[in-house]
A and B are shown apart, each in its own frame.
Chain A
Amino acid sequence: MTQETTTVIEHRLFQGDYRLLKLSAPAVGPLVQPGQFVHLRVPRLADAVLRRPFSVFKADAAGLSILYKSVGKGTAALTTVTEGEEINLIGPLGTGFPMIGKNTKTPVLVAGGYGNAALYLQAAKLPVKGIAFFGGRSAIDILCVDEFKTLGWDVRVTTDDGSLGQKGFVTAALDLWLAEQKNLQALELFACGPNAMLKAVGDRAIQNSLTAWLSMDRNMACGVGACLTCVIKRKTAAGWEWARCCKDGPVFEAREILWDE
Chain B
Amino acid sequence: MNEKPDMRIKIGSLEMKNPVTVASGTFGYGPEYADLVDLDRLGAITVKGICTEPHVGNSTPRTFETSGGMLNAIGLPGPGAQGFIKKYLPFFENYRVPLIVNIWGKTVEDYSRVAEIFNDQARISALEVNVSCPNVKEGGALYGTDVNLFRTVVDAVRIKTQKPLIIKLAPNVADIKVFARAAEECGADAVSIMNSYPAMAIDIETRKTQLANRTGGLSGPAIKPIAIKLVWEAAKVIKIPIIGMGGIYSPEDALEFIIAGASAVAVGTASFTDPSTVVRVIEGMEKWMAARKISSVAELKGTVQA
Question: Which A positions have Cβ atoms within 8 angstroms of B?
Answer: 1-3, 41, 47-51, 88, 90, 218-219, 221-229, 231-232, 241-242, 247
Q: Establish whether residues B36 and A224, one from each chain, have CB atoms under 8 Å apart when the complex forms.
A: yes
Q: Establish whether residues B56 and A2, one from each chain, have CB atoms under 8 Å apart when the complex forms.
A: no
Q: Establish whether residues B61 and A2, one from each chain, have CB atoms under 8 Å apart when the complex forms.
A: no
Q: Establish whether residues A49 and B70, one from each chain, have CB atoms under 8 Å apart when the complex forms.
A: yes
List residues of chain B with CB within 8 A of the CB of A51: 272-273
Q: Establish whether residues A49 and B269, one from each chain, have CB atoms under 8 Å apart when the complex forms.
A: yes
Give residues 266-306 of B contacting A (CB, 8 Å).
269-276
List residues of chain B with CB within 8 A of the CB of A247: 32
Of all A-B residue pairs in the complex, the 8 with the closest CB atoms, nearest first, are A226-B28, A226-B32, A1-B35, A229-B63, A49-B220, A225-B32, A222-B272, A47-B67
Q: B148 interface residue, CB < 8 Å from A?
A: no
Identify B25's interface contact among A41, A218, A225, A227, CB under 8 A: A227
Identify A49's interface contact among B35, B65, B77, CB under 8 A: B65
List residues of chain B with CB within 8 A of the CB of A48: 65
Q: Establish whether residues A90 and B74, one from each chain, have CB atoms under 8 Å apart when the complex forms.
A: no
List residues of chain B with CB within 8 A of the CB of A3: 36, 275-276
In the bound complex, what is the Cα–Cα distance between A225 and B74 (angstroms)? 13
Interface of B: prevailing SS: loop
Q: Establish whether residues B272 and A227, one from each chain, have CB atoms under 8 Å apart when the complex forms.
A: yes
- Known contacts A49-B69, A241-B56, A242-B77; 16 further A-B pairs (Cβ under 8 A): A1-B35, A2-B35, A41-B274, A47-B67, A47-B68, A49-B221, A90-B36, A221-B72, A221-B272, A224-B28, A224-B275, A227-B74, A228-B62, A228-B77, A229-B60, A231-B60
Q: B26 interface residue, CB < 8 Å from A?
A: yes
Q: Establish whether residues B272 and A50, one from each chain, have CB atoms under 8 Å apart when the complex forms.
A: yes
Give residues 20-77 of B contacting A (CB, 8 Å).
25-28, 32-33, 35-36, 48, 56-57, 60-63, 65, 67-70, 72, 74, 77
Q: Establish whether residues A221 and B63, one from each chain, have CB atoms under 8 Å apart when the complex forms.
A: yes
Q: Which residue of B lies closest to A74 (CB)?
A: B65
List residues of chain B with CB within 8 A of the CB of A223: 272
Q: Establish whether residues B60 and A226, one from each chain, have CB atoms under 8 Å apart when the complex forms.
A: no
List residues of chain B with CB within 8 A of the CB of A47: 67-68
Q: Establish whether residues A242 and B56, one from each chain, have CB atoms under 8 Å apart when the complex forms.
A: yes
In the bound complex, what is the Cα–Cα distance between A231 and B270 (angstroms)? 21
Q: Which residue of B lies closest to A260 (CB)?
A: B59
Decide yes or no: A226 and B72 within 8 Å by CB, A41-B273, A41-B274 being known contacts: no
Q: Which residue of A lies closest to B275 (CB)?
A: A3
In the bound complex, what is the Cα–Cα distance between A92 and B56 (angstroms)? 28
In the bound complex, what is the Cα–Cα distance between A223 and B36 (angstroms)? 12
Q: Which residue of B lies closest to A72 (CB)?
A: B65
In the bound complex, what is the Cα–Cα distance between A3 and B37 (angstroms)? 10
Give residues 205-228 of B contacting A (CB, 8 Å).
220-221
CB of A50 to closest CB in B, whole Å: 5
In the bound complex, what is the Cα–Cα distance between A154 and B48 (angstroms)? 48
Decide yes or no: A242 and B63 within 8 Å by CB, A2-B35, A49-B220, A49-B272 being known contacts: no
In the bound complex, what is the Cα–Cα distance between A48 and B64 (angstroms)? 11
Q: Establish whether residues A226 and B61, one from each chain, have CB atoms under 8 Å apart when the complex forms.
A: no
Q: Which residue of B lies closest to A48 (CB)?
A: B65
Decide yes or no: A231 and B36 within 8 Å by CB, A88-B274, A225-B28 being known contacts: no
Q: Establish whether residues A227 and B60, one from each chain, have CB atoms under 8 Å apart when the complex forms.
A: no
Identify A229's interface contact among B35, B72, B270, CB under 8 A: B72
